[in-house]
Amino acid sequence: MSRWISVAIYSSVLCLSMVFSTLQAQPSNTQFQKSNSEMFAAMTEVVAKPSAFTVRVRCADKDAALGTIVGPDGWIVTKYSELKGPAKVVLKDGRDFDAIVVGVHDEADLAMLKISATKLAAADWRESKAADVGSWLATPGISKEPIAVGVVSVNARVAAKEPAGPNMNSGFLGIQMVPDESGVKVQEVQPRTAAQKAGIKAGDVIVGIDDTEVSNRDQLMELLQTKKPGDTVTVKLLRDGTRMELKATLGRRTLDRGSMQNSMGSVLSERRTNFPVILQHDSVIKPTDCGGPVVDLDGRVVGINIARAGRTESYALPSEFVQSVLFDLMSGKLPGPVSTKPKTAAVRLAEAEAIKARALASKTAAEKDLKEAEAAIAKAKQEIEAERIKAEAEKKKAEADKKKAEPEKKPE
C-alpha cells in the first residue's frame, strides 16, 4: 500500500507544483517531469520484484534490448528486430549467458530466447485492461530504480497499420484506416486532402480502387503507391451498407509539423508499426530498452514494451496477447526467418526442452481436465442415485396414498 501512497502523494505535489510554477512564470525544465529523480525514487519499491525477472540483452558487446523472463528454466522474450547477431543475456545478479533464438513472432516482433539457467524469477502477469487510461506504469531494468515512468495513454487496441517507409512521391489520399471484414474501414479523414474533397467519410469501408478489389490495408497502400499526385482514381466503398463510387484526385504527401516533432528529442525504434495489438503509454524508453516488462503499481506485468513510437508514444504488447503466444514460441511453432545453417547441439537441446515444456503443460492441463471430469462423473452418479431413491420414495408414498383413498369393501 505504501508505494500507492508514495506515488499518489508525489503526483499531487507534482500537479500543485506545476500550477504554482506556471503562476509564478518561472518554469523548470526538469523539476516537474516524470523523469525527475524523486519520481524514480518513489517507484523503486514498485520495480523491486519485477527487476528480478528483467534481463539485459546484448549483441556484439552492445546493449540491444531488455528481456522478460517468462519461464524459470531460462525462457526469455525480447524484441526481435533489435537482435543484431548472437545474443548474450545479463541477469540482475550479474551472471551472463549465451542465448539462442528458439522462436520468433514476426508480426509482434517478439523473439523467444533460451539460456542454460534454472530457478529464475518469472513474470507475474496481470491483464492489461486492469490498467485504465491515466494509470501509472513503470519500466524496470536490472538496477534499483526504474528505467522509465509514465501513464497509460490508450487502452489495449488493434494497432492501426502504417507503411514502414511511405513513398513521398506517390499519390496521397489522406485517410487513417483500420481493418474491416468487408475491406478497409476509414477511421479518420484528414482535412484538406483528396479524401475530404471527394466526400469520403469516417466509417466508410473502401472495397476497391478503380478496377482492383481491396480486402485489406496493405493492398490499398500498394495500389496508392503506384499512383502519382494529380492522378484521379475511382474509390469504391460501402456506406451504411450501400455501395458507392467516388472520384478522388490524389494529392501530394507532405511531412507535416506534427510528424517532424514526433521524432524530435527522442530516438525511435526501427520497427515501430504494424503490431497486432498495442497498449500505448507515454513513458520515455529507448529502443534498446524495449523487450522488457512494463508493470503497474503492484509490480505486475501488464505488457511487454515493444517500440518507442514517437516523441510522446511508447507501445507495449498487452500481457494477455504475449501469454497467448508463449508456448508456440517455446515449441518452435513460430520459427521466424528460416536459417540454412545446421542446428547446433544447443539449439536442438532448446527445441527439445521446449517440446518437453509444452508436453508437460499439456499433461498438467489434461490431468486437471481428467480430475474435473472424474469429479463431475462422481457427482452426476450421486445425483442420479439420489433422484432414483427420491423417485422410489415418491412412488411408494403415492401407492400408500392411493390405498388409503380407496373405499373399504363391505362383506356381502
Structure-block grid coordinates of residue 52: 528480478
Provide the residue ranges of all domains of the chain, joining segments of one domain with +: 33-168+255-338, 171-252, 342-402
The candidate with the shortest Cα–Cα distance to 208, out of 185, 235, 230, is 235
Give the domain 171-252 fold: Pdz3 Domain (2.30.42)
Would you tell me how many other CB atoms lie within 10 Å of the CB of residue 306?
29
Residue closest to 273 by CA, chosen among 307, 303, 302:
307
Q: How far apart are CA 252 and CA 171, in angstroms?
A: 6
The answer to whether 67 and 322 have CB atoms below 8 angstroms apart is no
The residue among 124, 67, 74, 97 whose CA lies nearest residue 356 is: 74
Q: What pLDDT shows up at residue 354?
A: 64
CA pair distance 337, 339, nearest whole angstrom: 6
Q: What is the pLDDT of residue 261?
A: 44
Judge contact between 66 and 78, C-beta under 8 A.
yes
CATH architecture of 33-168+255-338: Beta Barrel (2.40)
What is the distance between the alpha carbons of residues 236 and 246, in angstroms, rounded to a whole number? Answer: 7
What was the pLDDT predicted at 388? 92
Q: Which residues neighbour 71 within 8 Å (Cβ) at sequence distance 6 or greater?
A: 120, 122, 326, 330, 357
Residues 15 and 100: their CA atoms lie apart, in Å, by 46
Beta-bridge partners for 74: none
Please tell me the predicted confidence (pLDDT) of residue 268: 85
Question: Other C-beta atoms within 10 Å of 20: how many?
Answer: 11
Nearest C-alpha neighbor of 232 from the set 198, 207, 205? 198
Task: Please tell me the predicted confidence (pLDDT) of residue 237.
Answer: 94
3-state secondary structure of 275: coil
* C-alpha–C-alpha distance, residues 273 and 267, integer Å: 15
Q: Which grid coordinates are listed for 364?
A: 498438467
Between CA 211 and CA 374 the distance in angstroms is: 60
Burial of 259 (0-12, 13-18, 19+ CB in 10 A): exposed
Per-residue pLDDT of the chain in tens (412 residues, 90 and over written 9): 455 545 554 454 444 344 333 334 334 444 335 556 677 778 899 999 999 999 999 999 999 999 999 999 999 999 998 998 889 999 999 999 999 988 899 889 999 999 999 999 999 999 998 888 989 999 999 998 899 999 998 888 765 554 444 555 678 898 888 777 788 889 889 888 999 999 999 999 999 999 999 888 778 888 888 888 999 999 999 999 899 999 999 998 765 444 444 444 457 888 888 888 999 999 999 999 999 999 999 999 999 999 998 878 899 999 999 999 998 888 766 655 444 345 566 656 766 776 676 677 667 778 888 888 898 899 999 999 999 999 999 888 888 888 877 766 556 5
Residues 6+ apart with CB under 8 A from 409: none
What does the block give as the cell for 122? 518469472
Rounded to the nearest angstrom, the gap between the alpha carbon of residue 4 and the centroid of all alpha carbons in its chain is 25
Grid coordinates given for 225: 503507391
Q: Label the pairing between strands 183-189 and 205-209.
A: antiparallel
